[in-house]
Chain A
Amino acid sequence: MSFEIKADGVDVQAVMTAIRKRIEEKRQGLYTEEEIREIAERRLDAVLDAHDFNPDFVKDFRTLPTRWNFAFHEDTLYESSRGFVGQLLRTLRRLLNPVQKLFWNPNPMIAALSRQSDLNAYYAHLLTNLAVEITKLNLELQDLKNRHLALQAKVELDARRERTLEEMVIYREEPEKKGADGA
């Protein structure tokens, strides 16, 4: 009775060879930058989603940083978005600036918020790059683990071969002894 199924459509060994070739190609160049970024973003998604972040927020954070982050400079406090009236307002606020400074000094706040805005952009950039770097390291670690497993399998195979060879020597010696006794 045959223990083999000859399939017309699929040869599992051929499928596995194709899979291994794909893996090898990825390993040779490891992963492209885009692939790594894609993997890193999936992981970031998983972390952020797990904490119930609004997914649109994450998207904006990545694609439109200006919409998410604030820009702050020394004129920001006096600006207005009301067109011509806004220009008048801005001029009036500037004129009243010395009076305002009698009550409080806005300069430290302007400096702090301006610096915070820069820091936010910097942190966002840093965290994204760290996620990418950690992903790269994880991939390298996994590659090393896989190589370790492959080496371990080879060592086990060698050990088995070694024992077989040792046993073959023992079996070969036995008939010779018997032959000598018989003679």
Chain B
Amino acid sequence: MKLGFVVQRYGLDIAGGAEYHCRLVAEHLARHAEVDVLTTCATDYVTWENHYPEGTQTLNGVPVQRFAVERPREIYRFAEWSRRIEGPHVEADELRWLEEEGPLSPRLVAEVERRRSAYDLLLFFSYRYYTTYHGLLAAPERAVLVPTAENDGIYRLSIFQAFFRMPRAIVWNSPEERDMIREATGNEAVPGEVVGVGSELPNRLDPDAFRRRRAIQGPFLLYIGRIDLNKGCDELFEFFQRYRDETGSALRLILMGKAVLGIPDDPAIVHLGFVSDQEKWDALAAAEALVIPSRYESLSMVTLEAWWARTPVLANARCEVLLGQCRRSNGGLYFAHYDEFREALATLEADAGLRRTLGENGRRYFDANYTWEIVERKYLDLLERLRAEDAGRARAS
């Protein structure tokens, strides 16, 4: 089976998000099929500036073909078009918005169209980008879409109504994502599978090593990811500081990741910046709980990783995906406002038995749904089914 992966960015230095998800899936499916990646030369998701050279290179055994971005994103113009599509507008405005969203690489789209028959199936990652939208339109009969959609309302644009009914199949990150898109676009007829993604797991967990290395004593709450308004970090800081003030808790908040938001000058909040994968895992094992304040998540790999490390999570209940994951796994509590944050965190902090049980439930949930064996099998079953349908159709004609 020959598979083509189409994604807006691709590289070993791109951590997190749909691009990382795409790379992991491509590398794992490369063990079972012939895999190519078609992508752009960009690394920066804000500007899409060309960074890598055009042409083909091999990354972790997967051939990657890169195409230049025609023009980088002009942020103010993109913001202007984003505002415009919020109000009354026509479909042409949405297409213009998509062009401004980028990455604008018509050559990548042309290549997808030209080589479509060379692949059994093409997997498109992240529905909301120029390369995915136009690439999928160029080869809908071979397209498998991995939308990685968040509840940000973009999927309701009229251009995506027909778009979500076009691919041969859709690989969902969660049942909530599937229901959200189905409710908005009525694409129940498109076959799909809730799969998600696995993780690169460590050989060992050493919580004491993390505490020693960072000289961290006592209990702490852990946040991993970009420290950003969009991720709900402002609310997290406010809630956490209030929680400490009101309860006299000795809990600290440890932050890992790039900060694009001011961090309060508070000795109880510690920012460690980027850390190695091993340190991240050790911290997950050492934490009382992982907190995920974001309202917009399509899957949250770090939540699954916390569960693998048997650590409970405290998640934003206004994100339906996180709410659903917590309820299905019985691996975490959730909050929709400060009172719930306070009570849920106080409950977690006070009850070591509850933390242990939630962590164990999380681990069972991970083992039942997100090991690479399971993820690969789900992908392969779906792709084989589609290929068998094609073969049947070819025989019939």
Q: Mark A144-167, 1 if CB is under 8 A from B, else 0.
A: 011001100100000010011001
- Contacts A9-B357, A10-B354, A10-B357: A16 and B245 contacting too (C-beta < 8 A)? no
Q: Which residue of B lies closest to A164 (CB)?
A: B183
- Contacts A3-B194, A3-B328, A43-B245: A171 and B186 contacting too (C-beta < 8 A)? yes
| Residues of the A chain whose Cβ atoms lie less than 8 Å from the Cβ of B344 | 16, 19
Q: Does B358 contact A (CB under 8 A)?
A: yes
Inter-chain contact A5/B328, CB cutoff 8 Å: yes
CB within 8 Å of A: which of B354-397?
Answer: 354, 357-358, 361, 364-365, 368-369, 374, 378
| Residues of the A chain whose Cβ atoms lie less than 8 Å from the Cβ of B329 | 5, 12
Q: Does B332 contact A (CB under 8 A)?
A: yes
Q: Mark A59-90, 1 if CB is under 8 A from B, else 0.
A: 00000000000000000000000000000000
Q: How large is the interface on A (under 10, 10 to 19, 20 to 34, 35 or more residues)?
A: 35 or more
Inter-chain contact B361/A22, CB cutoff 8 Å: no
Q: Does A180 contact B (CB under 8 A)?
A: no
Q: Does A99 contact B (CB under 8 A)?
A: no
Q: Does B343 contact A (CB under 8 A)?
A: yes
- Contacts A145-B338, A163-B156, A163-B184: A11 and B333 contacting too (C-beta < 8 A)? no
How far in angstroms is the closest Cβ of chain A from B368? 7
Q: Which residue of B lies closest to A7 (CB)?
A: B330
Per the bound structure, the CA–CA distance linking A30 and B215 in Å amounts to: 40
How far in angstroms is the closest Cβ of chain A from B262? 19
Q: Does A109 contact B (CB under 8 A)?
A: no
| Residues of the A chain whose Cβ atoms lie less than 8 Å from the Cβ of B339 | 23, 26-27, 142-143, 146
Q: Does B91 contact A (CB under 8 A)?
A: no
Chain B binding site: helix, strand, loop or mixed by DSSP? helix
| Residues of the A chain whose Cβ atoms lie less than 8 Å from the Cβ of B248 | 42
Q: Does B133 contact A (CB under 8 A)?
A: no
- Contacts A12-B327, A12-B330, A43-B245: A145 and B337 contacting too (C-beta < 8 A)? yes
Q: Which residue of B lies closest to A9 (CB)?
A: B357
Q: Does B117 contact A (CB under 8 A)?
A: no
Q: Does B175 contact A (CB under 8 A)?
A: yes
| Residues of the B chain whose Cβ atoms lie less than 8 Å from the Cβ of A1 | 368-369, 374, 378
Inter-chain contact A5/B337, CB cutoff 8 Å: no
- Contacts A10-B354, A146-B338: A160 and B333 contacting too (C-beta < 8 A)? no
Q: Does A115 contact B (CB under 8 A)?
A: no
| Residues of the B chain whose Cβ atoms lie less than 8 Å from the Cβ of A5 | 328-331, 361, 364-365, 368
Q: Does B28 contact A (CB under 8 A)?
A: no
Q: Does B347 contact A (CB under 8 A)?
A: yes
Q: Closest 6 A-B residue pairs measured CB to CB? A: A146-B337, A7-B330, A19-B343, A23-B339, A10-B357, A5-B365
A interface with B by C-beta (< 8 Å): 1-7, 9-13, 15-16, 19-20, 22-23, 26-27, 39, 42-43, 46, 142-143, 145-146, 149-150, 153, 160, 163-164, 167, 171
